[in-house]
Structure 1
């Protein structure tokens, strides 16, 4: 049996996910960040130092927007720019200790709030949500590619850009 998903179903899921994330972030008692700032910090924390162009691709924004976001994060002491060892004309953006502490604090704070909310659900509902987590991770990837092929192309991108 095939179950189709309508645009309205998809819209309802988008609205629910946005409301959940927003409610967790608004009640957090940690440093306030704009969504794109948070995304850039999270990408730097998980992927390591990268160029502005790669940040723009990963944060799904324009390069000028990525530059503005990095400048704001840099002025807050959350990231720093270093010369790219492969190309002295380019810079690499990396997390500072404060940036790493901030993203960890945000993640833990939001996770604690979500855990408390999850505890109010029935065991069956909690099990359902746990089973959906891998699906949400897959849906969050904007470019569904083979994992090995995608990581190889991401790793190769800076090499091609320096030639």
Structure 2
């Protein structure tokens, strides 16, 4: 359907959604550039955070939840393992399979990355009036609910 045939409310919502998407990408890019802790590829960073939250976790589940392909998840875990951030061990549910868990270094990296990202985001939010800060933080909770289902 041509854009001019869409209701005005739909067009406005689409424009607002696009503005949100662009802003989120710019914020994430800024946070990535400002990192002084271990610099990881975005897929490695997402996988590491997922492993921290869900460990022990199988590589197939990592692929589903990051999301990425199974080969990409395998390569990502191998790189994290080589960096000393994770290790593979027998799956507690099925000893024939392997699961991925954080090493102590991985846990320290997750904590440091989280602190640094939170500090940097707090600096960005401090540029806004208090009511906008509250609005953004509430939106963050709503967005987290959306991502839980991805």
Matched ranges for 1:150-161 at <5 A: none
Which of these residues, 22, 42, 62, is aligned with residue 35 of structure 1?
A: 42
Give me the whole-angstrom Cα distance separating, in 2, the residues matched to 1:6 and 1:98. 44
Distance in 2 (alpha carbons) for counterparts of 1:47 and 1:70: 14
Normalised by the length of structure 2, the TM-score is 0.85
Q: Which one is further off, 57-66 or 6-15?
A: 6-15
Distance in 2 (CA, whole Å) between partners of 1:134 and 1:37 is 24
Aligned counterpart in structure 1 of residue 18 of structure 2, from 7, 11, 25: 11
In structure 2, stretches of 5+ residues that fail to align are: 1-8
Aligned length: 141
What is the aligned counterpart of 1:46 among 48, 53, 74?
53
1:98 counterpart residue number: 105
Within 1, Cα distance between the matches of 2:124 and 2:41?
Answer: 23
Q: Which ranges of structure 1 fall in alignment gaps of 5 or more residues? A: 144-163
Q: CA deviation at 1:76?
A: 0.3
Task: Trace 1:68-79 onto structure 2 (pairs within 5 A).
Answer: 68-79=75-86
CA distance in structure 2 between the aligned counterparts of 1:60 and 1:136, rounded to whole angstroms = 17
Partner of 1:130: 137
2:77 & 2:53 partners in 1: Cα distance? Answer: 16
**Structure 1 position 115, deviation (Å):** 1.0
DSSP 3-state at the match of 2:96: strand
